[in-house]
Amino acid sequence: MYGLMQDWQLLCHRVIEHAARQHGERRVVSRTVEGPIKVTNYAEIHERALRVSKRLVKDSIRPGDRIATLAWSTSNHLECWYGIAGIGAIYHPVNPRLFSEQISYIINNAKDRVLLLDTSFVELVESLSDGLPTIERYVILTDRANMPQTRLRNAIAYEDWIAEVDADFTWHSFDENTAASLAYTSGTTGQPKGVLYSHRSIVLMSLAANSPDMYGFGSNDVVLQVVPMCHANGWTWPFSAPMAGAELVLPGAQLDGESLSELLLNERVTCTGGVPTVWQGVLAHLAERGETLTDLKRIYIGGSPCPRSLMEAFMNGHGVEVRSAFGMTEMGPMAAICSLMPETHDLTGDAMVDLLQTQGRPPFMVEFRTEDDEGRIQPWDGVSAGHLKARGPCIVQAYYGNEIGSALDEHGFFDTGDIAAINKNGYVRLTDRAKDLVKSGGEWISSIDLENHVMDHPDVFEAAVIGAKHPKWDERPVVVAVRKEGSRVSKEDIMGFLTGKIAKWWMPDDIIFVDSLPHTATGKLHKSVLRSQYENHLVGRLTG
């Protein structure tokens, strides 16, 4: 026997319909690529998204066709997502920070038919266009006045493109399992892999994101989306914010400390989130100006583990609640948020900060377990580490173009590639990516934990730990660090700082200072690059 509820499919365009209907005048603020701040609202986003849909249909775009976007986080980009998904086509956000060869690869792999791009990427795409045979038209996300000269095929200014149609268009219902978005991994090893989100998975994950212990957006919030929309489906924020009726602030291309601080202060932002390196710049700018984030209530820090010093700077200096966030493109993308529960309220001091530095606990619809190398399930004791695996309705079961279920183990779990321990309350603590663990004399050293200790030093801006080859111990940890501006901190200073904080056999064999560290297209430390540079660093010293 089936229930007698209405057949109301979970579709992405229902989100913006709801936002326009219930919160139509709620502001959407974005910094345009041209520079000025643009203010619109959900009603206008909805109306323009309908125009996008109608224009795509006029251009013979059909359900299932892939439409690429190479754009910063702006209101134009947002309305394109809804307009594309609304007709059953698939929006494919391309990360502009990928190598040009990777950009060509994923556009060709997806067989995108149209590419919508910001003016800042015209020159890049012109250099690639001869190798993009499936692209039939290029739509430049600007108006006629700012339209650059270009040789791109059938190029047209976005405002002219949607001006050729009106908003007299109706989005229809279809199966919620229809694909809506194609997101590619950053490709740190091998070519990027495609993750094909369904309408159902996006709506479910966005609903889960709005629960109080996760992002918890509400209609009184002002949300600054610092994480680019092309990173893991924008952490669901392009859907969870309008779903809740929260005001949405989009920073465009300018993610420097000064520009973000301006938005945080001027727009009275209450919630924001992004990778740790972004917030280092914001804190430095605010400190220089002597300004405090009086409106900001919560900040979500993900992509890489949040250093203790960064967390304490926000909590103690600005009175902001810091929640660590963990997720992956393959996980829809939100996997866990570190919010407090009754069993943790008695924690104080270092014990509380230790908890807040964990990756948190999963929402409903994400099921975790850890396994050792032999596949034995590990206990939730906070100590027993193993391969972190997950399953749920918003988690990938196969990469784009591969056989259904091919990304899962025999029990239906996806291996995240992380090593983690889970405590009795379900909080996940990542000890490392499986490929980044340092194996020294048969024992494992967590590069994440060691990095966090090094970055607690007040004169260290950023640090990465890799395993360098060693003739006796197999591998030994080496720290590659960036000093804060004006600092002259030495190797001996950091070694002394670490003494007593970590086990003696965890002490790094060397500390190398560099001007900057390499990052992936999503802002994470690019450790494969560092390993290729420094994996023989100790061998050379010991045998030289």
Taking residue 403's Cβ as centre, other Cβ atoms within 10 Å add up to 9
Q: Which residue carries 């064999």 as its tokens?
A: 509
Angle among Cα 350, 223, 331 to the nearest 5 degrees reads 70
Look at the alpha carbons of 135, 136, 139, 144 in this order and tell me if their dihedral is positive or negative: positive
- Catalytic hit among 111, 439, 499, 505: 439
- Catalytic hit among 79, 176, 330, 462: 330
Residues 6+ apart with CB under 8 A from 331: 366, 390, 392, 394, 395, 396, 414, 416
Taking residue 354's Cβ as centre, other Cβ atoms within 10 Å add up to 12
43 and 108 Cβ atoms separated by less than 8 Å: no
- Catalytic hit among 444, 484, 491, 535: 444
Nearest CA among 18, 132, 21 for reference residue 70 = 132
- Between strands 386-391 and 414-422, the pairing is antiparallel
Beta bridge partner(s), residue 519:
525
Q: Which residue carries 């949300």 as its tokens?
A: 223
Q: Which residue carries 């989306």 as its tokens?
A: 225
Q: Which residue carries 């006045």 as its tokens?
A: 145
Helix (H) or strand (E) holding 323: strand 321-327
Q: Is residue 330 among the annotated active site residues?
A: yes
Residues 6+ apart with CB under 8 A from 286: 257, 261, 292, 293, 318
Q: Is residue 444 among the annotated active site residues?
A: yes
Interatomic CA distance for residues 222 and 247, integer angstroms: 5
- Return the DSSP state at 377: B
Q: Is residue 374 among the annotated active site residues?
A: no
**Cα dist from 76 to 29, 61, 99, 381, 500, whole Å:** 11, 19, 24, 47, 53
- Return the DSSP state at 525: B
- Catalytic hit among 32, 119, 178, 185: 185
Q: Is residue 171 among the annotated active site residues?
A: no
Q: How many residues does the chain have?
A: 544
Active-site positions read 185, 330, 439, 444
